[in-house]
């Protein structure tokens, strides 16, 4: 696992470089998309490259991590709409090439199974962008999630609903109680995981992710088993890392031509 500690804007550029590398790597590259605040600076940087440098998403496929259950099709916090607003529409990504689990389906287990099939049919995810919840979730894999789980229905913790209330006019009761999420086993099949976290409120989750024992109590710790996982954190999110000095030294001595 590579840990990079740098100011937030630098982290966004590094992640965008990795995405740009994937976009140019094969005919129909596959990107895994995350919602939340953490990837927004990356999306802004990708939009800038699209506008100023012609970076194209036209042949890429996008697969979202998760989706709330029960939000109406036009709800602004439906993750499908969030991804359209934050990146897809801004880079001219054809809507039919960006998919998410269908949180409005009448048969939710069937929708989850169909989503797994569509990711596999696209050849799997080349690069998965991730954020992390304060309780250590990735996607919406809350504590207690099976480390081998597949796309399925999950119940949100109260902590996550409180954390996400800021997107629902600070009304926690407006935050849905359930979601569909790629499982930890699904996420682990992506060929490269790039997780971003900023702020002191993420420091405990980052410490556990990088240095804690692998445990369903901190679901992101499963990433310790991934052969190509990158953790991009600012000083505040890195503030509880025991081996921060070693991570800094390792990254500082990395050849400049080598990407993430």
Whose tokens are 């992506």? That residue is: 190
Torsion of CA 121, 84, 24, 17, to 10 degrees: -130
- Catalytic residue, chosen from 102, 116, 142, 163, is 142
Q: Pick from 5, 16, 19, 38: which binds ligand GLP (CB under 6 A)?
A: 38
Stretch 136-195 residues interacting with ligand GLP (CB under 6 A): 139-140, 160, 164
- Taking the C-alpha atoms of residue 136 and residue 127, their distance in angstroms, rounded to an integer, is 20
Q: Minimum Å distance from CB 54 to ligand GLP?
A: 29
- Taking the C-alpha atoms of residue 82 and residue 89, their distance in angstroms, rounded to an integer, is 10
Residue 208 sits at the vertex; the CA angle it makes with 202 and 213, to the nearest 5 degrees, is 170
Whether 96 is catalytic is no
Residue with smaller CB distance to ligand GLP, 164 or 230 = 164
- Catalytic residue, chosen from 67, 116, 126, 135, is 135
- Taking the C-alpha atoms of residue 111 and residue 120, their distance in angstroms, rounded to an integer, is 14
Q: Minimum Å distance from CB 249 to ligand GLP?
A: 28
Q: List the x/- string, 103-142, binding to ligand GLP by CB under 6 A.
A: ----------------------------xxx-----xx--
Give the list of residues 6+ apart from residue 258 with CB closer than 8 angstroms, or none: none
- Catalytic residue, chosen from 45, 66, 86, 116, is 66
Give the list of residues 6+ apart from residue 227 with CB closer than 8 angstroms, or none: none
Stretch 225-254 residues interacting with ligand GLP (CB under 6 A): none
| 68 forms part of the interface with ligand GLP (CB under 6 A) | no
Q: Hey, which residues are catalytic here?
A: 66, 135, 137, 142
């Amino acid at each position: 696992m590579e840990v990079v500690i740098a100011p937030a804007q630098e982290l966004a550029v590094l992640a965008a470089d990795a995405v740009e590398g994937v976009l140019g790597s094969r005919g129909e590259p596959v990107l895994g998309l995350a919602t939340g605040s953490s990837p927004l600076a990356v999306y802004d940087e990708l939009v800038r490259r699209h506008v100023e440098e012609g970076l194209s998403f036209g042949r890429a496929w996008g697969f979202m991590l998760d989706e709330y259950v029960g939000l109406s099709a036009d709800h602004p916090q439906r993750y499908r709409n969030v991804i359209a607003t934050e990146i897809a529409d801004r880079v001219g990504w054809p809507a039919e090439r960006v998919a998410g689990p269908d949180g409005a389906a009448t048969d939710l287990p069937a929708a989850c199974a169909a989503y797994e099939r569509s990711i596999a049919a696209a050849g799997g995810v080349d690069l998965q962008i991730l954020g992390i919840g304060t309780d250590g979730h990735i996607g919406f894999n809350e504590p207690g999630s099976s480390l081998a789980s597949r796309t399925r229905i999950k119940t949100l913790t109260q902590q996550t609903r409180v954390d996400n209330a800021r997107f629902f006019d600070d009304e926690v009761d407006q935050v849905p109680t359930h979601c569909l999420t790629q499982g930890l086993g699904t996420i682990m099949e992506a060929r490269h995981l790039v997780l971003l976290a900023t702020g002191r409120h993420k420091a405990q989750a980052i410490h556990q992710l990088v240095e804690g024992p692998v445990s369903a109590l901190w679901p992101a710790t499963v990433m310790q088993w991934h052969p190509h996982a990158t953790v991009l954190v600012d000083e505040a999110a890195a503030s509880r890392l025991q081996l921060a000095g070693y991570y800094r030294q390792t990254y500082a001595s990395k050849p400049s031509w080598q990407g993430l």
